[in-house]
Structures are given as C-alpha cells and as structure tokens.
Amino acid sequence: MHALTELESAFRSLSGDREFEKELDGILKDYVGRESPLYFAERLTEHYKRPNGEGPHIYLKREDLNHTGAHKINNAVAQALLAKRLGKKRIIAETGAGQHGVATATVCARFGLECVIYMGAQDMERQSLNVFRMRLLGAEVRAVHSGTATLKDATSEAIRDWVTNVESTHYILGSVAGPHPYPMMVREFHAVIGKETRKQALEKWGGKPDVLVACVGGGSNAMGLFHEFVDDDDVRLIGVEAAGFGLDSGKHAATLTKGEVGVLHGAMSYLLQDEDGQIVEPHSISAGLDYPGVGPEHSFLKDLGRAEYYSITDEEALEAFKRLSQLEGIIPALETSHALAYLEKLCPTLPNGTKVVLNCSGRGDKDVQTAIKYLKVE
C-alpha cells in the first residue's frame, strides 16, 4: 500500500503541472509521432456495403503508426517521465505479447533508465522476436516459470519485485488493470486517443463517431478511446474480447462474457476463475489478449450497461487479419484483428452512413510468425 499511496500522490501532483504536460506533449509529438491519423478505410467500407449500396463508414484510428507500432508507448512514455520526477532510476514492467515490454525498454533507452522486464516463459517462446528487441534496447528480460508462465504470472513477479525495491524502482504497469491508481493512471495516459478522435471526427465530418470499437485484453487501448466519449450517450462503445477456440471450449479469454467477479492483482473485476476461485488459464491466439482478468473500469461500464462487450474466435480474428491486409494494405496486430472481425457481425445491423471508429491498436509484424502456422496465403 505504501508504494501505491506514494504513486497516487505523485500522479495527483502532476495532473495540473504545466511543465510536465508540456514535456510529455513534446515527446508524444516528436518521438512517438502523435497525433495518429483517423483514416477512412475506403475499401473496407466498400466491403461492408449492402447490395443496395448502403452501409456504415469505417474509420481506423491509426495507433499502429506510433513509434514501436502500438498504443502501448503512450503510457510507457508518460510513466517514464513520472518515474524521473519521482527520482526512480530503475524501471520494471510485465509483458505478454512483448509489445508493452518493447515500449518500456524503448522509453528506458530514451531516458537512460535501468530496465527489467518480466515475461512468462511460454510467451517468450511465442514472441521471441520481441524478446530480442527488448534485449537489443538494453533491457534485461527475466523469464517467469511459475503458474501458467504467461502474463498473469509475469504481473505477479513484477509486483513482488516492485514491493521489494520500491525505493529505487518504478513499476510501469501496461494496462488499465492491477491496483489503484494504475487503472486510472493508465487510462489518463491513453485518453489522448479519444481526445484526438473527437477533434479529428469534427474536422472530417463535423460530428462525433456513432460507434467506437476496440479490442479488450486488459483494456487500455479501448479505455483510451472510450474515456473521452463515456458521457456522450449517443456514442456506442463496443469492446471485443478473445473467444479463443469458442466460448464453450473452455479455451478462451472472454472475461467480460464468461467471467465472474473476483479479485486479481489488487483489483476487483470480472475474472476467469473456477468454483474455488482459482484463476483459469485463458487462451487466445493473440498473446496480448491472453489475460484472465480485465480492467475494473470495463467491468464497471459493462455492469452500468454503458459499453457492450462481445467476443471473437481465433479463426475469425485470423480471417480479419488477412482481410485488412488485403483490402487496405495494413497488417493489423492479432489483438486488433479481433475488433476488425467483429465488423462482420456489426456492420449488417448499422444504418446507412453510420460513422464507425475502430481503434487500430497495433501493427501485425510481431504476429506474422503465428499467422504463418494457420493461414494459407495463395
């Protein structure tokens, strides 16, 4: 609790700090490459037109164009600056897909901070390219063999390290999960996604989006897009989880669809758990959605009825991965592909001209190895 209380007061003291905001904005602009485009996906839109020529208009918020290829860097940069303000010289982080690990290693190189990344041994195998990237960037990657050797175990290890070394160390948690103030803090650092989207929508069609769609693992890219629009009741918020081999297969990561309320990593939220309250191992073809919990704020939005959550199987996600690549020349991350796949179900139900903004949360270079095993590309 001491570590969390200290972090919360540091965050509160910075929230009105002009200097901090100016420095952060400068780095987001010149280093990360913000703002990211709101791109009209013309051929994808065409693809979902009905025989009578009607259909929704689909826009992609191009977080995949950020430095390091995903939204993760927004939060990593901001927390590294926060750590500097706190006088912490050592940074730790957990990672599943390796994207948050790469983003953290990147900002540590940029700010000259010592960096240790905890990663499940199983994920290290699946994402060996990202492991090399992190090491190339100067980070130490520590394999976690306990439990399921995936993201939840890496998170537990990182929390243990932080509590032991809190005087010298800042823990950059990579999603809107974990103990307060992390869900709030990570949301605030990603809120730039939604803020830009509002401004860009106004410029492009003089209004707001009608529907926002994003994939949900822990849920930071979705929260970053949704947060700006939570009070706009006329904007639908749709989160898409991983149904893995199918919701009834027992091998999925659809926490909000199939989970029950429980406590994990210091937050009460929906969880995949058995009768005894033990964590059930999730499955998704995408390492970044393979988390047995979900951010507490997503659970709140679900219970409130403010956001809707659906799920997509591995197979549907792979189809969407291929579809966007071939229709738009954009290879999406497998995480993002889950959101893209949901368009198949969503678009036929939408009135003509509905403005859909889908958060293209990451690029798919990291997933090509995985896709090779499953996809026949002729």
Q: Quick one: 142 exposed, middle or buried, by C-beta within 10 A (0-12, 13-18, 19+)?
A: middle
Question: Rounded to an integer, what distance in angstroms lies between the CA atom of residue 146 and that of residue 141?
Answer: 15
Helices of type H across 227-281: 255-258
Dihedral Cα 174, 180, 185, 191, nearest 10 deg:
90
Catalytic residue among 35, 94, 157, 297: 94
Catalytic residue among 241, 335, 361, 366: 361
72 has catalytic annotation: yes
Work out the angle at residue 126's Cα, subtended by the Cα atoms of residues 259 and 335, and round it to the nearest 5 degrees.
50
Compute how many other C-beta atoms are within 10 angstroms of the C-beta atom of residue 190. Answer: 28
Three-class secondary structure assignment of 280-343:
CCCCCCCHHHCCCCCCHHHHHHHHHCCEEEEEEEHHHHHHHHHHHHHHHCCCECHHHHHHHHHH
C-alpha distances in angstroms, 53 versus 42, 49, 314?
Answer: 14, 5, 30
Dihedral Cα 177, 179, 180, 186, nearest 10 deg:
-30
Taking the CA atoms of 292, 296, 302 and 303 in sequence, report the sign of the dihedral they define.
Answer: positive
Catalytic residue among 35, 61, 72, 284: 72
Residues with catalytic function:
72, 94, 361
